[in-house]
């Protein structure tokens, strides 16, 4: 049975393979560490912005899987660097002979599977952010006024911090605040005729105004912040409600957060792709080096040419052997004569 993808490795190519594999392993450690930092940064960002993302959005699974995949890649690179360096010394290599087999299996099945899964999630899940942010930001705006409701007490503070930090206002713009009641009922005077008229004129009994919270104000504006009566062209001198960009943040938080999180996911996808490529090369090189050294008894500078390969036999032969080994009792082949049966012994009368 011929081995799969055999490669003849004389002395000098074997040494160069071990040296190049050592450098490639440390490059895998570097890129794996970078991927670990990127996935950790995305996980921290989602921890801070989780309030504005729908609970059903599966995007949070991406940094968790990427974190595990990068940790396995980092460990694979460290062990591979030690094994490739030890292979250059006949005295240091024997302890590594029992480690390379489990490393190749774990790196291929576990690490490769996690990397493929994380890369697939990085390519597929950013599309779910649009719906998740749309639902999450809508819920945050609706609960802005619930400062005394258990479980919603921090909604106002978190949304104000979001608008101030990311320079955004509302979900898609400042006019989103015109359609919801963002002023708490505890600050409304029930004896004020204007308040009563606004509540009674709304079908749902909400107090709606054409104003925005203070966190929508741009501190770089040359004039004081204008928060109320933004749709009235005669309420504020020298203010054009059609051009509020000098006074309020121009972008909605949905657009800003979507671009921010998709940018982090794109960076993570690129590092995952490079990590997957490097880990594939390291595992292939380590397998060829292992099989070549096994043919020489673990000595890299042994005389003669060594042959490295991926599998000791073809896939068809391997499956056939495994099937025959687990097929139960032996059945004679068509050209094989069945064993002769012994004649029955006559019993005594």
Long-range contacts, 238-247 (Cβ 8 Å, 24+):
244/174, 246/218, 246/221, 246/222, 247/217, 247/218, 247/221, 247/223
Residue 157 has pLDDT above 80, yes or no: yes
Residue 161 has pLDDT above 90, yes or no: yes
Residue 202 has pLDDT above 60, yes or no: yes
Judged by average pLDDT, the poorest of 53-62, 225-234, 280-289 is 225-234
pTM: 0.78
Residue 331 has pLDDT above 70, yes or no: no
CA distance linking residue 268 with residue 263, whole number of Å: 9
Judged by average pLDDT, the poorest of 133-147, 162-176, 186-200, 306-320 is 306-320
pLDDT of residue 207: 84
pLDDT of residue 333: 44
DSSP-derived secondary structure for 304-330:
S-EEE-SBSS-HHHHHHHHHHHTS-S-
Average pLDDT across the chain, whole number:
79
Q: Name the H helices within the chain.
A: 11-49, 61-86, 97-105, 112-124, 129-142, 155-166, 193-201, 253-295, 315-325
pLDDT bin (cut points 50, 70, 90) of residue 186 is confident
pLDDT of residue 330: 44
- For helices 253-295 and 129-142, angle between their N-to-C axes, nearest 10 degrees: 140
Residue of 215, 228, 225 lying closest to 160 (CA atoms): 215
């Amino acid at each position: 049975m011929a081995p799969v993808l055999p490669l003849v490795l004389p002395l000098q190519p074997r040494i160069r393979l071990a040296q190049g594999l050592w450098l490639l392993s440390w490059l895998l450690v570097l890129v794996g560490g970078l991927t670990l930092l990127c996935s950790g940064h995305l996980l921290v960002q989602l921890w801070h912005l989780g309030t504005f993302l729908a609970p059903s959005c599966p995007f949070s699974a991406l940094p968790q899987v990427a974190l595990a995949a990068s940790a396995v890649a980092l460990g694979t690179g460290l062990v591979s660097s030690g094994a490739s360096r030890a292979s250059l010394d006949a005295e240091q290599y024997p302890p590594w002979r029992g480690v390379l087999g489990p490393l190749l299996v774990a790196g291929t099945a576990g690490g490769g599977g996690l990397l493929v899964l994380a890369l697939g999630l990085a390519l597929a899940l950013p599309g779910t952010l649009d719906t998740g942010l749309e639902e999450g930001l809508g819920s945050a705006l609706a609960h802005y006024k619930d400062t005394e409701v258990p479980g919603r007490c921090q909604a106002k503070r978190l949304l104000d911090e979001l608008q101030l930090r990311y320079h955004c206002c509302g979900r898609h713009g400042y006019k989103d605040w015109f359609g919801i009641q963002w002023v708490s009922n505890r600050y409304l005077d029930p004896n004020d005729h204007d308040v009563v008229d606004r509540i009674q004129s709304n079908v749902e009994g909400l107090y709606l105004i054409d104003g925005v919270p203070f966190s929508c104000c741009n501190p770089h504006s040359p004039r004081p912040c204008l928060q109320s009566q933004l749709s009235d062209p005669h309420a504020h001198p020298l203010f054009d409600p059609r051009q509020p960009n000098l006074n309020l943040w121009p972008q909605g938080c949905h657009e800003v957060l979507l671009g921010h999180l998709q940018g982090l996911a794109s960076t993570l996808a690129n590092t995952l792709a490079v990590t997957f490529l490097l880990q594939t090369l390291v595992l292939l090189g380590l397998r060829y080096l292992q099989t070549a050294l096994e043919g020489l008894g673990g000595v890299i500078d042994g005389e003669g040419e060594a042959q490295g390969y991926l599998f000791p036999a073809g896939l068809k032969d391997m499956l056939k052997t495994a099937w025959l080994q687990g097929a139960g009792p032996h059945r004679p082949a068509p050209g094989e004569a069945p064993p002769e049966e012994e004649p029955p012994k006559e019993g005594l009368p």
